[in-house]
A and B are shown apart, each in its own frame.
Chain A
């Protein structure tokens, strides 16, 4: 591939990432606001942060897509550094995949806002977190964040690409428990929201490790996530209370003692799970084990550990009652199974992100490169 003639990716990626970060902070703040303060109107600072996040990402994405397609038309080539492998859309011109994804996610968020207004006009503003329009909004934000991951992952050869991935992937991981709230509605014999969260975080850790193809990458991602989690743990209640104070609203009577909702639903012991993934992949590479099964094993052990320690965490911060021994074992095993599946998915998604042919063509050889 010839070197790209233009490189709008870096600025675009930075703005999309800024939008994603605004969305994450806005959502965390808004959820905490509803927990600590309660009913509100549309016009709260966290809501505006949420909407600005998507608008910012969306505008940046559109600008880059227009610039890239214009460049293609002018006969210049657009490399993956411009924000993802150019994909052919409608069989004619190509556009950078990452910005396409983030742009569509932002558009979907803004459009689903209307459904949310309709929902609130029927059920009022003191509604639940896992209402259908909310889940659609959270999913849209997640799509934008996936776009940011694709943009940065595609540019992993550059320094900004790797830095961006180190930020965008933990943002997406932090967001996953918000989206998996949807599974609360499933009446399953195990905690479906937690299992979904394990699936997402393990998959993204494996994906990150395989995309960067560097020893210790998963641990680095987990470390960044931990830092973000700590920051939000402090920020969310502080922001909710300070803002309530500023607008003169009282806190709910039962505030206090409970940990902040979003940061508390991220595993605190993720770092240990990430170390296990790095360790398993490192052993696989050293001993030339087949990449057909190493990601699954890495995912499974990590999933077991994360699921078990997450229950411990919930117990520790008393967000749910102590599970009985049988339940503990069942949920841990389910975590392992989801982890194995996550390892499988993460490794193969990384293959796609690295610009390889679909695994069906030559799965193992290609995947082996990710070691």
Chain B
């Protein structure tokens, strides 16, 4: 009998140590996390952050960060549940609203709404002229299967223990207490097995990320763990609503995304790099616009654009569909701008091998070794003279590459690329504080947002230009809530 007790002790203790380093694989998606969605609404570039929902019903904090050039005003916020339910009040109507006043000063402002159920939702952001509808998911607090077996096993063990004691002191037959005793051992075995396997239990596909979110799978993603794998979708196609735009007038331009296999609107975009869609527009003067059109309906987006000069504008969008990777969608048409009058010529791009200029009040320097096709090369830009850059879209810097440039300009350039400033490089030519924005790998940790102006001033990008020729390149970084876009010309040799 005592040997049995000692063996059980040894088993339990060793199991406890075996199960040691078990980070929460499943917790990241099931407790929710802050989600930031950059949205170009009218003339404002907004970063809309939906804070983690910790209880349902409960508050949903919404913070909006405005950037330089945003005028004062009021945003009307409203949330609508959009999921299909098996009971309860039907979805489809606004359940909570709030007004958010924007001062003329760039920076954060916040409002609190209420969410009363788990599942898919839509947040509408209305500036009086345009309405952006941002989809989001309110997850339930699901227990992992491992947790269920551990808690279930230990509770069963407790019940068996109690039953064993009662039977031992009350029963007339000697063998009877052995029954709850054996059940106790079985229950503890279940619990220990669950604990030991917890670290290697796969996470379920995440609703909203890999699966279309439903009320059911948002409440318990483990219910659809069998769907893991094979979640990729067909590519999408980007269609512009108009190809003729007047010059120097704020023009709403619609775009739609459709599924390459069915032609239906694509309404399964995942927030990636801090936006549902990143739209890049290259103007005839070598200008770059990096916008985040507002989702107005399933598969339908809109942005307001004021074209400075006549000519052809090339367009490409970056999106990520659920269960698939990021894709670059180039508009086959682009759009053409015509109108009376002329604009001042655009500033010439900086030579990548060394150049400096003041852009939006910030001194900018660039440096790069001669580039050779197919060989990675590092382009460094020093933006300002202090470590006061702000992470934009979760990154310290963005690099947009278009080229090699031929007669057709950006529209026919074989390559469009979008790289991010990554990693700290020791012994940098232009300053050692090339700090990387920390990556939130830990449970519960959150990334520093745009309000943290503590990075840079040097941002570095490494890119392998695949073909020789001339490339138009832009470096983007944020400082003083202003997105600084540095046009650079790169010549790649063979």
Chain A binder among B166-174, B242-250, B348-356, B407-415: B166-174
User: On chain B, which size bracket covers the interface?
Assistant: 35 or more
B162 at the interface (CB under 8 A from A): yes
B 145-189 to A, binary, CB cutoff 8 A, 1 in contact else 0: 011001100110111011011001110101001100100110010
Taking CB atoms, residues of chain A closer than 8 Å to B27 are: 41, 125
Contact B21 A246 (CB under 8 A): yes
B226 at the interface (CB under 8 A from A): no
18 A/B residue pairs, CB under 8 Å, sorted by A: A8-B2, A11-B6, A42-B147, A43-B147, A48-B15, A52-B16, A56-B12, A56-B13, A62-B161, A65-B169, A107-B158, A107-B159, A113-B155, A114-B151, A117-B151, A121-B143, A243-B20, A247-B22
Contact A110 B158 (CB under 8 A): yes
B493 at the interface (CB under 8 A from A): no
A218 shortest CB reach to chain B, Å: 31
Contact A52 B24 (CB under 8 A): no
Contact of A66 among B159, B177, B443 (CB under 8 A): B177
A 87-120 to B, binary, CB cutoff 8 A, 1 in contact else 0: 0011011110000100110111111011001001
Interface SS of chain A: helix, strand, loop or mixed? helix
Complex formed: what's the CA distance from A8 to B150 in Å? Answer: 31
Contact A123 B445 (CB under 8 A): no
B101 at the interface (CB under 8 A from A): no
Residues in A35-80 with C-beta less than 8 Å from chain B: 38-45, 48-49, 51-52, 55-56, 58-63, 65-67, 69-70, 73
Contact of B161 among A18, A43, A70, A106 (CB under 8 A): A106
A 124-160 to B, binary, CB cutoff 8 A, 1 in contact else 0: 1110000000000000000000000000000000000
A 15-42 to B, binary, CB cutoff 8 A, 1 in contact else 0: 1001100100000000000000011111
Complex formed: what's the CA distance from A62 to B5 in Å? Answer: 9
Residues in B1-50 with C-beta less than 8 Å from chain A: 1-2, 4-6, 8-9, 12-13, 15-17, 19-24, 26-27, 31
Complex formed: what's the CA distance from A107 to B151 in Å? Answer: 13
Given A61-B165, A70-B174, A103-B165, verify A43-B199 contact (CB < 8 Å). Answer: yes
Taking CB atoms, residues of chain B closer than 8 Å to A317 are: none
Taking CB atoms, residues of chain A closer than 8 Å to B31 are: 124-125
Most buried by B among A22, A94, A108, A117: A117
Chain A residue at smallest Cβ distance from B52: A124
Contact B174 A73 (CB under 8 A): yes
B444 at the interface (CB under 8 A from A): yes
* A-to-B contact residues, CB < 8 Å: 8, 11-12, 15, 18-19, 22, 38-45, 48-49, 51-52, 55-56, 58-63, 65-67, 69-70, 73, 89-90, 92-95, 100, 103-104, 106-111, 113-114, 117, 120-126, 243, 246-250
Contact B23 A249 (CB under 8 A): yes
Complex formed: what's the CA distance from A111 to B151 in Å? Answer: 9
Taking CB atoms, residues of chain B closer than 8 Å to A103 are: 161-162, 164-165
Given A66-B177, A66-B181, A110-B158, verify A250-B151 contact (CB < 8 Å). Answer: no
Given A38-B444, A73-B174, verify A62-B165 contact (CB < 8 Å). Answer: yes
B96 at the interface (CB under 8 A from A): no
Contact A100 B141 (CB under 8 A): no
Chain B residue at smallest Cβ distance from A8: B2
Residues in B195-211 with C-beta less than 8 Å from chain A: 195, 198-199
Most buried by B among A48, A243, A246: A48
Residues in B465-489 with C-beta less than 8 Å from chain A: none
Chain A residue at smallest Cβ distance from B176: A66
Taking CB atoms, residues of chain A closer than 8 Å to B2 are: 8, 11-12, 63
Most buried by B among A59, A104, A246: A59
